[in-house]
Structure 1
Amino acid sequence: MAGLEAQMSSGSNPDVSLLYDINGLTDDTPGWFDRVMEFVGEYGILLGLVLVVLWCWWGARKRETLDDAASSVAAVVWAPLAAAVAVLVNVPIRSFVERPRPFKDHDGLTVLVTGKNDFSFVSDHATMAMALGAAVFVANRKLGFVGLGLAVLEGFCRVFMGVHYPTDVIGGFALGTAVALLLSPLASALLTPVARAIGRTGKLSRLVWSPTAAASASGAVGLPGARESAEPAEERDLAA
């Protein structure tokens, strides 16, 4: 009842109304579900996105040539870097806007996570999640849809948990996407030569390129020249 009264007092503000609608779902959920959502929204989805990035990296190594593998791995490496850059960009935004957490200004909310005393806009979790999802989408379309889906779920969880307004999440989505996409060409130009250089080394080369896996993939579809493209880079250099 307190939540309903608070929602009515919010007037025509759609941001606050949607906050109460989503957070109000906790009134009908069991305690164990709220605890699961607390873990998923705070840690679980970000962990899932890290696993998606690792999965994407594992596949990027299996390109037919070192050049293709280096550019693909560079795109994957940009994903966590994009998330870090986006969060750094958010630091001055939060300090400038200084928006309090919703439960500090509105009564009747069910808050599933305690200790959130910093500012609310923009959501760090939504920013990181969408930056990871958008960057993975650039590297791998199929896995990118998985990443974007997880990012949207992260945004829903933050509102469901009562720690963010919907506009906090939307702002995080916009910031994460902007950083991941706008800086992607620059990141590729800087990271691809580094990845190519690592691919030509001895022990660390498999971080960038897996010739055995590339040869197996090429042989499975009967592509000509599979053996030449799968030669270790150092052997090709010696032959030259």
Structure 2
Amino acid sequence: MTASVPAALPHGERWFDDGLYTSVTDVAHRSPGWLDTAVSVWSTYGLFLFGALLLAAWWRARPSGSARAALALAAPLVVLATFVVSTGLKALLREQRPCQTLHTVTVEACPALGDWSLPSNHAVLAAAVAATLLFTDRGLAALAVPAAVAMGASRVWVGAHYPHDVVLGLAVGAGVAWALMAGARRATVPVAERLGTTRLAPLVAKR
């Protein structure tokens, strides 16, 4: 485990969930090493699962109809756009990491100063994927939704984020992706029909 760098927030500010953050990191500090390792691995590499779910959703959509497959193809672009929104929010809000502002011990090394905390990009991406799957594959969405919550919780456990970073990240990811997918759904039928007449037809229909 790595001790975070203690520092004070400007003007003595404190977040309402400081206590919850320190309680979680204290439990993590006292937990078995194997559990911290498992959570850390999930926190670091779990996003690959969400990428695999996007790919699986597209693959499963191909036999079911070109419009749904075209929407599944749009999903990664929606997730990317949601990430851009999240990055912009980080630059605007400029919240330091909790491990930079509180006296606590964290499972993972604290990110450097200026690596902003709010919202959690991991939570944003996980929630965005879950939201797109609600449009393209409800079966996979049933796996992605709890996995997104688990991803967000893991970011607090390892000490990288306040709980409110994660909550806002989940809300931003789900809200932006839902709105973009709702808009994309209206365009998928003509796009799919056009692709179906080209060499790219296998992208939207199984042959």
Pairwise TM-score range, normalised by the shorter structure: 0.7 to 0.9
1:70 aligns with 2:66: yes
Are 1:169 and 2:166 an aligned pair?
yes
**Pairs aligned (count):** 196
- Match of 1:53? 54
Pairwise CA distance, 1:21: 2.4
Shift of 1:59: 1.3
Match of 1:119 among 109, 116, 137: 116
1:35 corresponding residue in structure 2: 37
Partner of 1:231: none
Unaligned runs of 5+ in 2: 7-13
| AA at the equivalent of 1:53 | L
Distance 1:171 1:185 in 2: 21
Q: What's the TM-score, normalizing by structure 1? A: 0.74
2:80 matched residue in structure 1: 84
What stretches of structure 1 of length at least 5 have no aligned partner? 7-11, 64-68, 212-240
Q: Is 1:185 aligned with 2:182?
A: yes
Listed one character per residue, the Cα deviations across residues 118-174 of structure 1 (whole Å, up to 9, x for unaligned) are 110011110011001111112121211211111111101100010000100011111
Change in CA separation of 1:153 and 1:116 when aligned onto 2, cut-off 3 Å: farther
- CA deviation string 1:160-197 (max 9, x = no partner): 01000010001111111111111223222334433332
User: RCO (CA 8 Å, sep 6+): is it higher in 1 or 2?
Assistant: 2
Q: Distance in 2 between matches of 1:48 and 1:113?
A: 23
Counterpart contact for 1:34–1:112, Cα < 8 Å: no
Cα pair distance change 1:96/1:164, threshold 3 Å? same
84-93 or 24-33, which deviates more: 24-33
Structure 2 equivalent of residue 108 of structure 1 = 104
| Rg larger in structure | 1
Are the counterparts in 2 of residues 199 and 205 from structure 1 also a CA contact under 8 Å? yes
SS in 2 for 1:164: coil
- TM-score, normalised to structure 2's length? 0.85
Deviation at 1:13, TM superposition (A): 5.8
